[in-house]
Structure 1
Amino acid sequence: MTNEHLQQRKEAVIARGMGNLAPIYVDRARNAELWDVEGKRYIDFGAGIAVVNTGHCHPKVIAAVRNQLDKVTHSCLTVTPYAVAVELAERLVRIAPGPSAKKAMFASTGAEAVENAVKIARAHTGRRAIVAFDGGFHGRTNLTLGLTGKVAPYKAGFGPFPGDLYRLPYPNAYHGVSDDQVFEALRMRFKTDIEPDQVAAVVIEPVQGEGGFYRAPVEFLQRLRALCDEHGILLICDEIQTGFARTGKMFALEYAGIEADIMTMAKGIAGGFPLSAVVGKAEIMDAANPGGLGGTYGGSPIACAAGLAVLAVIEEERLCQRALAVGERIGGRLRELQARHPEIIGDVRQLGAMVAVEFVHDGQASRPNTELPKTLAAEAVGRGLILLTCGIRSNVIRFLPALTAPLEVVDEGMAIFAELLAEHG
């Protein structure tokens, strides 16, 4: 069996829209490494897009899943529930930032979590409008594409999208978007598009994921919290990519010291098993009537068992602290490379082990280099390294290794990246 043969078979039977970045087929994986069907080893700097924060096939996660397999694999949480879902919900409401009493609900994907967060916000407030941000990514369903602020490849050809969705610029010092400009844009929305007492919620990623790893300043998030309070608007924080120790805290919102009304969680929540959650203030979460939330597979007992094991690993192995060390290793090397190649590396961004490098022409932020990231990511595969691109301008490479990655493996991966950059810089 070869990668090429499997790629041909895949293209014959799987829709073209589900393209794959790398034409390799994984046979097995451990921690921060993959092996394909031809036996070649790869260092994984993608972690399934920030999903396996605890590493591929962590022994404690696998053991928890195997134990659950012998008990029950499915009965539907909204029909005949099970203890493991209750236990995970108890843990999630306990670790969610802020002093308010909270409740949770489960789904299977991040997009489902965002959709349900919007439903809950509308049910609680009786309002219709939702505000989101340029460059945000919230999923590929029709509603979440409406919230997502990037056309290609996500939104192209899929409209129309739901109404009563409004968008603002995202604060971005590197590209000259100040906090004040964002709030002025919001005031204009209130004057020209929608009255504030009809806005149910503002949805924001504390650090944009697909948008390019831009971080909302602490002061901006605090001001946004205050503005939402002033107008009775709910603050929904999308922590799908930033959650579960990725940024050096359990959730990125903790850096701002504020409490969201609703949070969405997925990706790193269950070590690769399909699970997402919405966690919010109890009185808000209870706005939906019985039967208004849920789904056939949401809160699968297998995934909930994995989620409990992930939380145990994060605590026992001190993965928040570990994320800081892994991220600093990568960020430090990228800053060295930036000093050598200032004409092509415009910016290096790092929060915990959520690290990005932005490529430009002639050192100018206004001149994005869109070809180099694609070239580096493609050629990295041949050298045994998995890299992910991103960015609203398609000029960013993001680094998302497992938080459990040995530092020598991180260094090995960065050495490959440095070699590639030297060849193309």
Structure 2
Amino acid sequence: MANDRPTSGTRNIIIWTAAVLVVALVSYMAHVATRTVLQVRAFTVVRGPIRSSVSTNGKVQPVNNYEAHAPYPGLVKSLLVHEGDVVPAGKLLLTMDSVDAQTRLAQARATLAGALANQRSVESGGVPEDRYTFNGQVEQAQADERAAQQSLTTLQQLAAKGAASPSEVLQAQNRLASDHANLQVLQQRQTARKTPPNAEQARAEVVEAQAAVNGALDALNKSSVRAPFAGTVYSVPASQTEYVQQGDKLLQEADLTHMEVLAYFDEPDIGKLSIGQPVRVTWTGKPDEVWHGHIKRLPATVVTYTTRNVGELICSLDDPHDGLLPDTNVDVTVTTREVQDALYVPREALHTEQGLTYVYKVVHGALKRAAVQVGNLNLTQVQIVTGVAAGDVVALNTLGGQPLVDKVAVAVQQQ
């Protein structure tokens, strides 16, 4: 029987084998435990404001803006302001040389007087005139024109020597223009004496002559540019003694205390906008400043702006806006919806599968899938209406890139 008992060598083998098995089992269990516990980033659900917004670019423009343009080709006679000058309403800002404008007005008035006289004669059936008397009138008009031309020539020579004033030359020019117009009217009547009277044509000539007078008078009035309202002269492209063409921009004035922004919103965002929504304006030229306002007018149509289809809306600025000059390019953000006391989580905590929306809550060291109902959201946050409570911890992602799985053990490493 003594031979049936294990020897000391056999016992040692059994002991060592058992020890190896225990070590292997412990190592395997440690490996399994380490492999199944996911390291995750998490977020604690809190309450706070959550805002939805849309952003775009825009351009600052004055509510009251005035642009002066040259009414006719000519010289800028005097420039009385500089860029940045604050001016009262009615202040004289600029004048143009008006000699030619006054001459054109005199000619237009003379033509109108002749047209009115011709109309009266036609409407009365025509007045028989003695041919010699009429010819005498033409000859007298020719003599007046020659005398006016000689007087103008003499005065221009004297003016060149400083012996005659510009106003005397101007009066001589106006007299010559008037005498020339009278002569033309008489010559036209002399040519048309044998033509049957035409009342309709006579009325048309009066209308045309009156329009010419109105145009000449308007151009003359615009030769002196005055401030239409109190404001700031912010652009003066013209310079004194410069020759400008008709329509050239002379200067710009605006009330810089009342500004607005013309914003360009892409077509898909237009439906989110409404009048009165708050607006936030920033400018790269002053990155530390923010201006606030609200939507004043919605787009009336969609237009092409560079490569985009946009709606143009007007935003009023409510803050003092010193430093925002007309035509400044700015960034515009409109708050389309705001919830003040909302439960919210980062958008990366939200998952959607087969139409169901859910998050993974961390409960007792493991993930628990919880269906939620969402409300307001923006690019980084989402409001949770039901499914979580303040203080709940939700998983965002794993540190190793593994997918989140329901009921898997986790360890929160970052929160």
Q: TM-score, normalised by structure 1?
A: 0.15
Q: Give the structure with the higher percent helix.
A: 1
**Rg larger in 1 or in 2?**
2
Q: Give the structure with the higher percent strand.
A: 2
Highest RCO, 1 vs 2 (Cα 8 Å, sep ≥ 6): 2
Q: TM-score, normalised by structure 2?
A: 0.15
